């Protein structure tokens, strides 16, 4: 059997880092971890190839070679996915679809021959059994959440690691919280399921053996969903492994804000090599937090909470949302002020959307507020429901927020605010490709000479030199990020 795995193209968004990647000569931010894991679940005797359309073009020759084309995608990749499906149909190729895009809205993909919905550990064995018996079905639907202790390591040999800025790994699926706009629970369940620490160490060892040195993203939607297990098993294992190899990797992940309540947990994470975490802050309005069920964020001084995490050696990347029913006209200025005061450099601001399968979608549908065909998977576009705030005011306010926070004066000021507060734990080993000389010289050209914010750039670099080598390297990296964010904000 000849199988072609296809990972469709991501559009340029704040998360794509498209403009920043050019500074370090990389083609994509992350490899398609789900596809690589899926590949390891297929029969060893099959001939398998992968085309990541974010690093190479999908050609007729790729498709003509294949007996089956497996497509895996997230919602934001739907435009590219449709194009791939049409391409396959023109050439008469059998298509197998999987991943969140197909799982959340399978009825929209009747033209796909076989749909493997939800998690591959469950549906792929059933698909392979039916293929052997010549009894293949159109749809392999949800039958339960699998344990991850048998999940195989990703097939890293299928990609060119040099194409990517970071590699990725997964420890758990599922989240204990109930944010009404988030489809993580509908896709992966409320109870976090984890791999064993031995599996994670084996995966790290496999990556280490490839020669990779640098950054690894734990893609878990909430790494600390099971705090006890993470503290007692996972992190101690990673600490021992990292110490034995002089910290070849630095780690980045996603966590909930209650990490700030556990100093031991933060200390273990930084000892293991974690230096950054994405946290869904969403809004500073208590009523809006109550509205969306983000109760873990309530009754906190959020600015002080963020700064406390930063002082413990973890950079906070923040997620923010506009468009809650309780949002007032003042919410835009409140968000700008919070982002500046807290020093959250990477502030991913979006408009509220209601994905299929969420409590928010159910509520909006009951209220007759869903706008059919508007959900794109990107919260940088219009909401897919009618907001309480006039749509024009919401969209204009959103664009004012992102353009303001990434305007050179505001952005470089925020970098300084962060660097004054951040207290990283020092480990041996390489940390990030953004510390390369090539990235620095590219930043000097594009940000220090060609950019309208060049004065702020040089002032930041001069100031950071007084704070040490680490601060200077981070200042360069963040300046490159800012360039990407400004380009995205200007395109909106």
pLDDT in tens, 90-125: 999 999 999 999 999 999 999 999 999 999 999 999
Question: pLDDT digits over 128-148, tens only?
Answer: 999 999 999 999 999 899 999
pTM listed for this prediction: 0.96
* Helix, strand and coil in the chain, % to nearest 5: 45, 15, 40
The length of the chain is 492
Residue 376: pLDDT band (50, 70, 90) is confident
- β-pair type (249-255, 274-282): parallel
Give me the helices (H) in 57-177, please.
Answer: 60-65, 78-90, 100-104, 120-132
Q: pLDDT higher for 435 or 245?
A: 245
Mind listing the domains of the chain with CATH numbers? 2-140 (3.40.50), 166-421 (3.80.30.20), 437-491 (no CATH)
pLDDT on residue 434:
57
pLDDT on residue 42:
98
Q: Please determine, for residue 491, whether its predicted confidence score (pLDDT) is greater than 90.
A: no
Q: How far is CA 167 from CA 15, 61, 332, 370, in A?
A: 15, 28, 35, 37
pLDDT on residue 238:
98
Instruction: Give the chain's mean pLDDT.
Output: 96
Q: Please determine, for residue 435, whether its predicted confidence score (pLDDT) is greater than 80.
A: no
Instruction: Report the pLDDT averaged over residues 425-445.
Output: 77
Question: pLDDT digits over 191-236, tens only?
Answer: 999 999 999 999 999 999 999 999 999 999 999 999 999 999 999 9
Helix axes 331-342, 302-311, angle to 10 degrees: 20
Residue 432: pLDDT band (50, 70, 90) is very low
Q: Please determine, for residue 6, whether its predicted confidence score (pLDDT) is greater than 80.
A: yes
Instruction: Report the pLDDT averaged over residues 31-46.
Output: 98
Q: Please determine, for residue 433, whether its predicted confidence score (pLDDT) is greater than 60.
A: no
pLDDT on residue 303:
98
Residue 429: pLDDT band (50, 70, 90) is low
Please give the angle made by the CA atoms of 158, 80 and 485, to the nearest 5 degrees: 90
Share of the chain above pLDDT 70, in %: 98
Please tell me what DSSP assigns to residue 230: I
Q: DSSP labels for 4-41?
A: EEEEPPPPP-TTT-HHHHHHHT-SBSS--HHHHHHHTT
Structure tokens at 399: 């664009």
Question: pLDDT digits over 307-321, tens only?
Answer: 999 999 999 999 999
């Amino acid at each position: 059997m000849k199988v072609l795995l296809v990972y469709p193209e991501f559009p340029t968004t704040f998360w794509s880092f498209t403009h920043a990647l050019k500074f370090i000569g990389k083609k994509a931010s992350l490899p398609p971890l789900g596809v690589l894991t899926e590949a390891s679940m297929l029969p060893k005797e099959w001939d398998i190839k992968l085309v990541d359309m974010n690093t190479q073009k999908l050609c007729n020759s790729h498709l003509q070679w294949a007996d089956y084309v497996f497509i895996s995608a997230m919602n934001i990749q739907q435009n590219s996915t449709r194009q791939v499906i049409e391409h396959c149909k023109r050439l008469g190729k059998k298509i197998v679809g999987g991943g969140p895009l197909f799982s959340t809205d399978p009825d929209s993909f009747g033209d796909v021959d076989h749909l493997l919905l939800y998690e591959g550990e469950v549906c792929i064995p059933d698909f392979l059994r039916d293929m052997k018996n010549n009894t293949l079905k159109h749809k392999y639907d949800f039958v339960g959440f699998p344990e991850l202790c048998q999940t195989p390591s990703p097939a890293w040999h299928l990609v060119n690691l040099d194409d990517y800025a970071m590699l990725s790994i997964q420890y758990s699926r599922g989240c204990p919280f109930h944010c009404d706009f988030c489809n993580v629970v509908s896709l992966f369940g409320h109870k976090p399921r984890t791999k064993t620490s031995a599996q994670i160490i084996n995966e790290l060892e496999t990556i280490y053996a490839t020669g990779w040195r640098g950054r690894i993203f734990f893609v878990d939607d909430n790494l600390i969903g099971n705090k006890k297990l993470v503290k007692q098993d996972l992190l101690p294992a990673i600490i021992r492994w990292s110490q034995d190899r002089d910290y070849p990797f630095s780690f980045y992940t996603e966590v909930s804000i209650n990490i700030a309540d556990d100093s031991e947990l933060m200390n273990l994470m930084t000892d293991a090599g974690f230096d950054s975490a994405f946290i869904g802050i969403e809004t500073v309005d208590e009523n809006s937090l109550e509205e969306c069920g983000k109760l873990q964020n309530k009754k906190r001084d959020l600015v002080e909470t963020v700064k406390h995490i930063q002082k413990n050696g973890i950079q906070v990347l923040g997620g923010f949302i506009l468009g809650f029913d309780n949002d007032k006209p003042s919410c835009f200025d409140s968000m700008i002020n919070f982002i500046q005061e807290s020093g959250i450099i990477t502030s991913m601001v979006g408009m509220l959307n209601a994905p299929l399968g969420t409590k928010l979608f159910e509520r909006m549908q009951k209220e007759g507020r869903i706008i059919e065909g508007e959900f794109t998977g990107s919260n940088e576009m219009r909401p897919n429901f009618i907001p309480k705030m006039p749509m024009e005011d919401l969209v204009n306010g959103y664009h004012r927020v992102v353009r303001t926070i990434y305007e050179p004066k505001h952005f470089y000021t925020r970098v300084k605010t962060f660097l004054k507060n951040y207290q990283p734990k020092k480990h041996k080993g390489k940390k990030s490709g953004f510390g390369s000389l090539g990235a620095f010289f590219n930043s000097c050209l594009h940000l220090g000479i060609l950019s309208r914010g060049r004065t702020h750039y040089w002032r930041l670099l001069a100031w950071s030199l007084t704070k040490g080598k680490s601060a200077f390297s981070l200042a360069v990296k963040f300046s490159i990020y800012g360039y990407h964010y400004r380009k995205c904000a200007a395109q909106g």
